[in-house]
Homo-oligomer: A and B are copies of this chain.
Amino acid sequence: MFRPQIKVIDCTIRDGGLMNNSNFTFETVRAIYQAVCASNVDIVEIGYRNSKEMFSPAKYGLWRFCDDEVLKKLTDGIETTTKLAVMQDAHKAIAEDLSPKSESVVDMVRVATYVKDIDKAIKLANNATDKGYEATINIMAISHALDRELDEALQQVEEETKVVACYLVDSFGALYSEDVDYLVHKFQRYLKTKEIGVHFHNQQQLGYANTIEAIIKNANYLDGTLYGLGRAAGNCPLELLIGFLKNPKFDLRPLLAIIEKEILPMQKEIQWGYTIPYMIAGLLNCHPEAAMEQMNAESGSAKKLDFVKFYEKMAGADA
């Protein structure tokens, strides 16, 4: 039996864009958008609406900015009930970049934030709801959040915003199922009028399993990406999540087809998925940046450490 309150969000292009500076071609993104819509996934997050003052449009692709005219062209002629979302980073986006909802095909703005930037995030989320959008606040790096600070932030989200959901984001792929239980319960204690969302990374191959755990604990906003494409080891694979959920409206087949056609060929250019450097970062609850540098370091260079040296370096840095 399925739970109708559950909303599935595909964020393939948005999170995958962290691996290639959001440099996907328009045709690829339109094909993926069309497939996700055809599968009846509830929401598709197509990229960031971040500031061109903080990201150079010469270096970053269209999907770091998601200009309204680009999104209009992207969605043109595709009939769908799937909502369109963009993400704003609390510390890298500005309110003025969001036009009123009446001038945009965007339905939802998700604001990503560290606990310390919660006031910036609330300002951006309120800007979005004031302009007519649905909004969420997604608290990143949750495995580094101090309880006292997180408690206060959640209280603020409950009292000061009209977001539909507040997310716990396991940016470092460090959470175990016990941690998921603990955090979902904490979020529920504070967020009496919001849904709980979850976004997991796969550094320890737990992205999908932790999503199931969160479903059992009544989280209802669930992020996934096609074949797990996303930062470092990637995310909860959308195809596994759709296979698990029993809502008959979902159709797995368009997702399988687009993985074959568009996602697998990207493996030549983008290295995501489980590897030992990412596993070490997740195990040690570290930002994946150092592991990504290891993955990209040239064989034989001084920067390229063997696995044991990398582990010892990372473990030592944590002490």
Contacts and interface: CB of A to CB of B under 8 A. Distances in A.
Interface of A: 176-178, 202, 204-210, 212-213, 216, 227, 237, 239-240, 243-244, 252-253, 256-257, 259-260, 273-274, 276, 279-280, 283, 306-308, 311-312
B208 A207 contact: no
B308 A257 contact: yes
B208 A204 contact: yes
Given A177-B209, A257-B308, A260-B276, 20 more contacts: A176-B244, A177-B177, A177-B213, A202-B205, A204-B240, A204-B243, A205-B208, A205-B209, A205-B237, A206-B209, A209-B212, A239-B279, A243-B279, A243-B283, A253-B312, A257-B306, A257-B307, A259-B307, A260-B307, A260-B308
A279 B240 contact: yes
Contacts of A209: 177, 205-206, 208-210, 212
Most buried by B among A212, A283, A306, A307: A307
Instruction: Name A's interface SS.
Output: helix
Nearest to A243: B283
A177 B208 CA distance: 11
Contacts of A205: 202, 205, 207-209, 237, 240
Nearest to A258: B307
A237 B260 CA distance: 26
Given A213-B177, A256-B311, A283-B243, A206 B208 contact: yes
A28 B146 CA distance: 46
Nearest to A259: B276
